[in-house]
Structure 1
Amino acid sequence: MTVIKRILLTVFLAVTGLSLSAQEKPDSTAYRFRFVAENDMFFSPWSGNGQELERLLAAIDEHRPAIEAGQMYLLVTSYATDGNEEQTAAQVAKTRRNRVKSELIVRGKIKESNFVTDQLFDEAYTDGNGKSLHNMVIVTLPASVEKVAEIAGAEAAARVEAYNKEVSGEAERERMAAKEQAKAEQTAKEKAEQERIAAEQAAREKAEAERMERERMAAEQVEKERLEAEEQARLQAEETAIATPYHFALRANLLRWATLTPDLGIEWRINRHVGIAVNGTWASWSWDDKNRRYALWEVAPEVRWYLGKEKRGYIGAMYKAGQFNYKLSETGRQGDLMGGGIVGGYQLKLNNALSLDFNLGIGYIHADYDKYVVINGVRVRRGSGTKNWWGPVSAGVTLVWNIF
């Protein structure tokens, strides 16, 4: 009967433990949304914001009953916000928070009352690696009891705290832990005698096994050191055989020059794997007694990761910003553009100093512009427009001059 009782108790404890573990209070998770400096627009696909938004919407669906019951809140906080010419940093931070909340209200089908909003905006956000991040909006789910009390009041905090205690089952776990401890102590006493008898035999077998293992490991260590020495010598020989890449180079995109759009840039190879490139483009042409116009300037920084044994192919990320003024027909367009994407390419070595860089960038460009016509030599505005482009955003056959 004693054995049967122990079996039944073990099954009961296991089932109860599973039930309690399934009700544990969820840990708070921070969802990070990035903003462009001095800009309060929320670009969902930009810089990982889309993926982070989908994660947060999934978490909202998972905890919707508790959120709608006022037992769980979303904390919205701004960090290290930059102001601009029209708004102070505090105003920009407020607008950014509202844009993130509006996105969650529309797509997540929640209410304004489900948020607690922190007014903090000037401090930087520190991620898990200790890095300080600027122009961020952080949504934390669930918000802590302390933050709910500070922002929403004591009544809301009491509901959250009661819910946390209910789902965590702290008291029940303590009682079950005490029973498990008592059971473990009894089991230990019953096994003590068996362990004592087996200890001497195990010690003798262990000593013999350790002696044999030491002899085997000593022989393996000698062989391992020999193989490592040979591998190190081979890698060093290969490293020496590969030419050291350039560290600084001047660049000229021949495709741009072919369209009478001067283009120059530089690239700094931080090491064999990583390079930073910046290209600038400027053109200003007019004809037909200034009735036709082609003007453009762009700045496009890139970060590249070089691949392969000789580090000639690469992939990377690029950003582009600039202004344009086109009048190739009766109506001209003048405005700003901004975007970015991923870039890939290959550098074909011509000699020790020159290379050709073939590259293509794919991503997103957004343009805002004014339409105008020219009347008696004067530009007259005729409305405005915007353009969003997904697809190829850059291409080049670039001549690279390795300075050193």
Structure 2
Amino acid sequence: MTIRRIICTLCAILLTAGIAVTAQKQGESRVLTFRFAAASDRFYDGYLDNHNQIAAMIECVNTHKDAILAGDVPVAVFGYCDSCGSTEANLTTARTRSNRVKSEMITRCGLTEQCFRTTNHSDGGNYVEVRITLPTSEAVPLPMPEPSRPVVTAEPEPESMPVTLPADTADRRPVVNAQVAHRPHIDLRANLLRWATLTPDLGIEWHIAERFSILAHGSWTSWSWNDKDRRYALWEVLPEGRLYLGKNNRGYIGAYGHYGDFNYKFTDTGRQGTVKGGGIKGGYVFRLNKALSLDLSIGIGGLNVDYDKYYLYDGTRVRLEHDNKNYWGVTHAGVTLVWNIF
């Protein structure tokens, strides 16, 4: 009976030591979750809790940067998407989302692509999860099972025992004064209402901040018919500053300017001159797919039109009179196709 008890005691000691060593090797995992809007791969700092998660990511990576670059601390990235309508589209969007999160860690923390192990899924939600397995310097010894009789040669217990707190305890601390920059991106634009009047129109929008962008549209056309007795020609430039509203940055308000030249002759009398003005506008952006959106807008303001009236005599323009008019009301309408190029 004594031999059996000794064997049981030794087995318990070996089992406890094995568990402690295993716990020391595995360490704790820091889990960070970055949320994305449905069917979107744009990574917004202000969306849900992304601001705090990004700041916590920067703090964690900078703390263990040397170990991560050396390959001692694994960084696993899991991308998820279930809102794009098909398995292939979901995987493509999940892959892009993962790449956007990794780009933040590469550009802001100095990591490399070799630091990551990436897995993407076509279901499960709309987010990217980053798991960083942190090193544990000392494992917490597990309690020893008490033997059936006192062990004569037992080691005295230390006065104080080191305790390793769980990693998620630190996660609950609020992030204070975390400064996270927005990644600018560019859209190409075309006002379909302009194209419907045989006036080619193209624009570009630069999202310089999370909710603020600057853009400009340009239009040009030159038509003549009836042996050049009728004329429709113009060029215009419309610069704009825009502030996006709402959780998903779909609605917006903005201010715009208007400048251009024109030459219209639809009757015997033609009008040629300059138009300038500006106003305020509002609108809403409807997302069509990952790359395309439809921007509906309307603007009110004022225009000043300075022009000459003329008629043609033997192919030569003859000035009749000069006029200058002001107009207040709707000065802009747009049904604009938007392409997010990067």
TM-score (norm 2): 0.47
Higher relative contact order (CA 8 A, sep 6+): 2
More strand per residue: 1 or 2? 2
More helix per residue: 1 or 2? 1
